[in-house]
Amino acid sequence: DGGITQSPKYLFRKEGQNVTLSCEQNLNHDAMYWYRQDPGQGLRLIYYSQIVNDFQKGDIAEGYSVSREKKESFPLTVTSAQKNPTAFYLCASSTVSNQPQHFGDGTRLSIL
Amino acid sequence: EDQVTQSPEALRLQEGESSSLNCSYTVSGLRGLFWYRQDPGKGPEFLFTLYSAGEEKEKERLKATLTKKESFLHITAPKPEDSATYLCAVHQRNSGYSTLTFGKGTMLLVSP
């Protein structure tokens, strides 16, 4: 079945540590996205990528980094510069147009 | 600045009690309005896309409509399994890339 796989489902970060969230899709979509979801807030865009080896900052990119070396993969690194990383992180993909984005089942990141 | 406002924030219905959720938006050049359903601890699941005022889409007990300023998600004779958070998102014409702005969602609880 085609879809988006995020791993791990739960992740814990120690102070000063960088952690990487995985996102893989087999939908053959060109565009991929990372969102952050906090209680009582809408999804906020962190980074997005329309093609391999290219990505753009979203609304809340500070303290995060991404790479897009393969069409299928768009990992997100939460760096130690992100002072409030506790949130539910969602990865999505779409064709490059005003078509629906399809989401993975998220990674919940907490601070130890 | 683009805004997407969903109301009510939460809605409790009895099984079979029909109602509507609202999504009002202020964007220049709407390219599409999307409805999603999100269950706790899961990623959003795509429901509908609406592109122009007057358009309607239906799926089982759900019907989405669109005007120039807002969209409604009508739920007819809801069942407990319809309980979820419903998210609205808009895609605007002026952006160079396909990004969405999400509302904060309406949490629906349907009691048996």
pLDDT by residue (tens digit) across B1-56? 658 999 999 999 999 999 999 999 998 778 899 999 999 999 999 999 999 999 99
User: What pLDDT does A96 receive?
Assistant: 73
Q: pLDDT under 70 in chain A at which residues?
A: 1, 97
User: What pLDDT does A70 receive?
Assistant: 96
User: What pLDDT does B30 receive?
Assistant: 82
The answer to whether B88 and B103 are in contact (CB under 8 A) is yes
Q: Of all residues in chain B, what percent carry a pLDDT higher than 90?
A: 80
- The dihedrals phi and psi of A66, each to the nearest 5 degrees, come to -140, 170
The burial of B55, by beta-carbon neighbours within 10 Å (0-12 exposed, 13-18 middle, 19 or more buried), is given as middle
Interface residue A49 vs chain B (CB under 8 A): no
The answer to whether A13 and A110 are in contact (CB under 8 A) is yes
Distance from C-alpha of B14 to C-alpha of B61, rounded to nearest angstrom: 15
User: What pLDDT does B98 receive?
Assistant: 64
User: What pLDDT does A99 receive?
Assistant: 83
The answer to whether A90 and A103 are in contact (CB under 8 A) is yes
The burial of B43, by beta-carbon neighbours within 10 Å (0-12 exposed, 13-18 middle, 19 or more buried), is given as buried
Interface residue B59 vs chain A (CB under 8 A): no
Mind listing the pLDDT tens digit for each residue in B55-104?
Answer: 999 999 999 999 999 999 999 999 999 999 999 999 876 555 667 899 99
Q: Which residues of A touch B43 (CB under 8 A)?
A: 4, 6, 90, 92, 103-106
User: What pLDDT does B93 receive?
Assistant: 64
Q: Could you tell me the CA-to-CA distances from A19 to A66, A109, A110, B4, B45 in Å, in that order? A: 12, 9, 11, 32, 26
- CB count in 10 Å sphere of residue A39: 7
Distance of CA A76 to the CA centre of its chain: 5
β-sheet bridge partners, residue A46: none
User: What pLDDT does B40 receive?
Assistant: 94
Mark which residues 77-96 of B lie under 8 Å from A by CB.
Answer: 87, 89, 91
User: What pLDDT does B96 receive?
Assistant: 59
The burial of A30, by beta-carbon neighbours within 10 Å (0-12 exposed, 13-18 middle, 19 or more buried), is given as middle
Distance from C-alpha of B38 to C-alpha of B86, rounded to nearest angstrom: 6
**Three-state secondary structure call for residue B82:** helix
